[in-house]
Amino acid sequence: MKKLINTDKFPVIFTVSSLIVFCEIVVRMKIIDAYTLPAPTSVVYVLFTDYQNLLKHLLVTLQEASLGFVLAILIAFLLSMVMDFFPIVKKALYPLLIVSQTIPIIVLAPLFGMWFGFGITPKIVIVILVCFFPIVINLTDGLDSVDEELIHLAHSMGAGPLKTFRFIKFPYAMQSMFSGIRIAATYAIMGAVIGEWLGGSKGIGVYMLRVRHSFQLDKMFAAILLIVLLSVSLFKMIDKLQEVLMPWSIIEEE
């Protein structure tokens, strides 16, 4: 029987509420100057007074993050499939994927600006690179963890490599894939913002740079709040999508 009131989230709600109240008090009592740490009410006020400007930039960032995120999923799926079908490809590429994560994205971002210009393309490339790794690694590991007996059973029933992948391996690995997608979802908005920091004329990252240079920290924190809310919303959307595509995972949790 489900609980009428879900108390699992009370600790985090209490902690966040306490921090907000604490910040408001220390700023209002001038223990900390407002130009160093804006009061939470000032941040919320900015969301209402500057919402048109924020929305204009936020939509650009959302477009960059969404395109990059979807492309990262597609590329990761195709590469995982190729590595599963051809083990020699996995032996050649898997170590390179690991090594690629040791290169800071912030170092590569200026190069993308030189190669692709300062439009939307380099931002999408950065989002792809940030989101691609956790998806491809989790999906590849999920495909490798499929029970060998299930594969042998499929082969004994006349299933070829493609049907085995479609009906046995991929459904088995979906849980791992969604774990990677959820991780990538938290990086997507951040990747787009990093790209905007290093070159661009639109986007929430550009907005943050402009208000920081004019020392408008209330607007800076308002932008950060929107980034957090957008990232959490994307994370929750992935959870809902998993529930639709993998209803059996809900039964397992219950």
- 13 lies in the same domain as 139: no
Question: Of 119, 15, 10, 136, which Cα lies nearest the Cα of 71?
Answer: 136
Residue 85 and residue 80: Cα distance in Å, rounded?
9
Q: Which domain holds residue 17?
A: 1-37
Would you state the pLDDT for residue 71? 95
Do 100 and 157 form a contact (C-beta atoms < 8 A)?
no
The reply to whether 32 and 64 lie within a common domain is no
Buried b / exposed e along 122-145 (16+ C-beta atoms within 10 A):
bbbbbbbbbbbbbbbbbbbebbee
pLDDT of residue 2: 46
189 and 160 assigned to the same domain: yes
192 and 231 share a domain?
yes
Number of domains in the chain: 2
CA-based radius of gyration for the chain: 22
The answer on 26 and 43 residing in a single domain is: no
Predicted confidence at residue 87, as pLDDT, reads 87
**How high is the mean pLDDT in each 10-residue block of the chain (254 residues)?**
58 82 83 78 87 88 92 93 89 85 76 77 88 91 83 78 82 88 90 82 86 84 90 88 75 49
Same domain? 146 vs 97: yes
Whole-structure pTM value: 0.84
- What the block records as the tokens of 153 is 């059973």
Please check whether residues 44 and 152 belong to one and the same domain: yes
Whether residue 43 sits in one domain with residue 3? no
Q: What's residue 40's pLDDT?
A: 84
For position 248, what pLDDT does the model report? 67
Burial 76-88 (b: 16+ CB within 10 A, else e): beebbbebbeeee
- My answer on whether 187 and 208 are in the same domain is yes
One domain, residues 31 and 152:
no
Q: pLDDT tens digits, residue range 44-76?
A: 888 888 888 888 989 999 999 999 999 999 999
- The widest CA-to-CA distance across the chain, in whole angstroms, is 75
From residue 234, give the alpha-carbon distance in Å to each of 28, 36, 59, 149: 34, 30, 14, 37
Residues with Cβ within 8 Å of 224's Cβ and at least 6 positions away in sequence, in order, are: 208
229 and 137, same structural domain?
Answer: yes
| 116 and 16 belong to one structural domain | no
Output the domain CATH number for residue 183: 1.10.3720.10
